[in-house]
Each structure stands twice: as structure tokens, then as C-alpha cells.
Amino acid sequence: MSGPAGRQWLRRGAALAFALLVAACANAASIPEVTSTAEPVSGAPSAPSAPRDAPVVAAPSLKPGLPSSTAAMSLIPPLTSAQLAPIQPVPAPTGPVPSPVPDLLPGMPELHDARNVYSDAGANMLNDVTRAAKPLVYVPHTKSGDVWVIDPATFEVVGRYPVGIEVQHVVPAWDMKTLYATDDLGNTLTPFDPRTGKPGRQISVDDPYNMYFSPDGSAAIVVAEGRRKLRWYDPRTWKVQAETATPSCAGIDHADFSPNGRVVVFSCEFDGRVAVVDVASRKLLRVIDMPHRNHHMGPQDVKLAPDGSAYYVADSDQNGLWVIDGAATKVIRQIPTGTGAHGLYLDRAAKRLFVTNRREGSVSVLDPFTGQELTKWRVPGASFDMGGLTADGKQLWLSGRYDGHVYVLDTDDGHLIRKIPVGRGPHGLCVWPQTGRYSLGHTGITR
């Protein structure tokens, strides 16, 4: 209640309650014994009971000078209709759930929504660094050894830069200030300044097929596919910090991290399994065999479900996805998608998972929580490989690995917006800028 009437009522009620308490204590000795109507306990003597037709005796009055309970209640003013109105329930809180994820990797940015680890990488959620970047698409080529740069506004090629022998991916740094073109045969990284789109001086590293960054930003993880190992570098000095041998993970390629940043799952393309690595200790924890181990073009890209409940692993030879439990201990099911399943990308709301099926020119669109297929987009003749979404999430850019083109799809209905001729063997293209607070690497895994 509120207002003068409510306050007056509360004062009278409090005074009456106190008076009744005092009176009850004073009369305790004079109140007659109340006769129990309960059945006697077996073996115990029975207490005398009143006859069934005995008259009902009224409760004794209080001490003289104190009002009876009925009279006391009459002192309380009646409640108004407004005071009798039902209390409106408080609506349940909505929006992000504060991070309940235990044991975050020290130094890792806080997780703001446990239901969606990608909540800070929604549509147009650029940070101060990425807002300063020039919108461009970087296309590395494994056959021609160069990086082509495309203006996404005009779909025109605005730069061609020879940077190596077999350029695999363009990888954004953890702080999103640099993009690195990885050349595994040339053993180099070529940094690109995203503010200008121009390359800088090359950095010597060992067999960089792909590259990731620890969630705390302390290490660049070079995926040395040909060496069957991970090499952990200081991303400022490029000195080796540690090595993780993965002898039973032939074709170690792609990865994703647990919600708390402590575990990373890598695919083993030529061994039909995945390798699970502890980020803090940089030790191999275990390998998990797929139910059917493909050794030719087996496990490919890896993607964590938005709520961290599962890892999706594309398997090209299996023509679909394997699903691994969120603890990264076992395979729990399989999802057919299409011939040559390869790349995995989430839309900006993390409500759709795009799966590129490289050998049938299609993209399967799945529910990322259930794995249910929502639709499938087809572009005959395309060999969709790697790519990424624009910052607004309206376009999906994909390399055509075997047909020398880059494809731009509308993410509303999957129709082909543009087919752009590029060099030979376009692979892990990077659309920049990306949204989010930090990058975990590859072609733009951000959170």
C-alpha cells in the first residue's frame, strides 16, 4: 500500500498486534485447558472427552480493559478497492545471461551471454579497431601464390599481391589490427594492414597451413599440417613459446574453442578423428575417432554451437557433419548435408548454420541448436570452400576452390548476387571487417 491511508493502516495494525500479544501473555494462566479431539495413542491412557452433544463454549474474553479480538478487528479501517487490487507480477528478466561459465581461461574476455557465445559479434557490432578498417575481401590462392583484394561495394578486384608459393588462408589477429596470409610451402606469414589493404614485411614461421589465436591473445597457434604439430608463437615477437605434437592427427587443419577458452578441438583430415588440446598447458588431452574414419578428405571445419552444447565437424568424405558433445569427449550423432561438406559459418544472430558442400555446389542451412535442415541453396558448378559474412550479415562470400571464382550469396534466400573471376585455387578468403571484440583466427572466428 502507499499514501497516507496505507501508512495509517500499518500503524494501527502494528499497535493492535502488540496489544493482542501483551493480552495473550497476561491471560495465559487463566485460559482453560483445551480438550483434544485426536485419537489416543495405542497403549496410552485416554483423556476424558466431552459428550458429542456438549454445548460449544465461547472463547474466554481478554483481561478487563482490553478489547476482544472481534472488537479489535473493528478498529482496522476497511481496505479500499485500490488496496485490494492484485499485485502485478514482475516480468522475468530478458536479454543476455551474465556468464555462468566456470573457470574462464585467465585473461580471456568475459562471456556475456551463455546462450550465445557469439553474442558480441552480432550484425554491425564493430569495435574501434574494425571501424577504422577499409571494407575489403582478401582472397588467397594455393596455385598462383598470391592474394587478390576485392572491393565489396563494386565487386571489382582492386589489388593483386604475390606473397608466396601456396597461400592457404587470410587470418585476422587476436586484436584485429592485422591480417596474415599463411603460406605453408613458403614458411611465411604476410601481414596486411586492414586500414589500407596493403601487405607488409613477411614473417618466417614453420609450415603455416592455418593459424589460430588463444582466447587470451597470448599466443598465435600455427597449424603445421605437414609436421603434425601445433607451434605456439608470441604474436609480438614471433618467437616460439611451445610445441604440441599430434602424431596421430594427420592433416591437422581447422579448430574451434570451448566457451571458457580452455579447450580447443582440431580436425584431423587424413586420420578420421579430432584432437582435443588443453590451451593453458598446451598438451594433447585425447583424440576422438569418428564412427567411420575417412582418411582421404575426412574431418574439415569445426564450429562450436552457440550455447556450447556441441561441436560440429564437417566431413567431406562423409557428406555431412559429425556432432561431438560439448565436453569434447565423444561423437553423439551425424547430420547428412551434401556431397563434400566443408566450411561452417553462423549468421549474425547465431540462428542459422551455413554448411558449404563443395562437391555439389550447395549450402545447407541448419538450425545450430538442433541440427535440423532449414533449407538448401544451390549454385550449379560452384565448388564452395571457405569464406565469411559481411559485417551486416546480409552477404555470404565463398571461394570456389576448384573453379577459380568467388561467389557472393544473399543470406536471406541464398540467391547468387555475384560471381567474380579470381586467380587459381582460391581458398580461405577473409571478408573484412568482421564484428566482435577479438579474433580466434582462421578466416574470421570472432567473439
pLDDT tier for residue 95 given thresholds of 50, 70 and 90: low
pLDDT (0 to 100) of residue 43? 37
For 38-94, how does the pLDDT look when each residue is reduced to its tens digit (9 = 90+)? 333 333 333 333 333 333 333 334 334 444 444 443 444 444 444 434 434 334 445
Average pLDDT over residues 136-143: 98
pLDDT (0 to 100) of residue 100? 67
The structure's pTM equals 0.79
For 344-356, how does the pLDDT look when each residue is reduced to its tens digit (9 = 90+)? 999 999 999 999 9
Pick the CATH number of 119-348+427-446 from 3.40.640.10, 2.40.390.10, 3.40.50.12240, 2.130.10.10: 2.130.10.10
Judged against a pLDDT cut of 50, whether residue 325 lies above it is answered with yes
Judged against a pLDDT cut of 90, whether residue 233 lies above it is answered with yes
Average pLDDT over residues 358-369: 98
pLDDT (0 to 100) of residue 101? 78
Average pLDDT over residues 237-255: 98
Q: What is the mean pLDDT of the chain?
A: 85
pLDDT (0 to 100) of residue 102? 81
Least confident of 4-8, 182-186, 190-194: 4-8
pLDDT (0 to 100) of residue 94? 53
pLDDT (0 to 100) of residue 71? 42
What residues does 393 pair with on adjacent strands?
none
Query: In this predicted model, which residue has the larger pLDDT, 333 or 31?
Result: 333
For 14-26, how does the pLDDT look when each residue is reduced to its tens digit (9 = 90+)? 444 444 444 444 4
Judged against a pLDDT cut of 50, whether residue 365 lies above it is answered with yes
Average pLDDT over residues 155-159: 98
For 384-433, how does the pLDDT look when each residue is reduced to its tens digit (9 = 90+)? 999 999 999 999 999 999 999 999 999 999 999 999 999 999 999 999 99
For 249-263, how does the pLDDT look when each residue is reduced to its tens digit (9 = 90+)? 999 999 999 999 999
For 292-324, how does the pLDDT look when each residue is reduced to its tens digit (9 = 90+)? 999 999 999 999 999 999 999 999 999 999 999
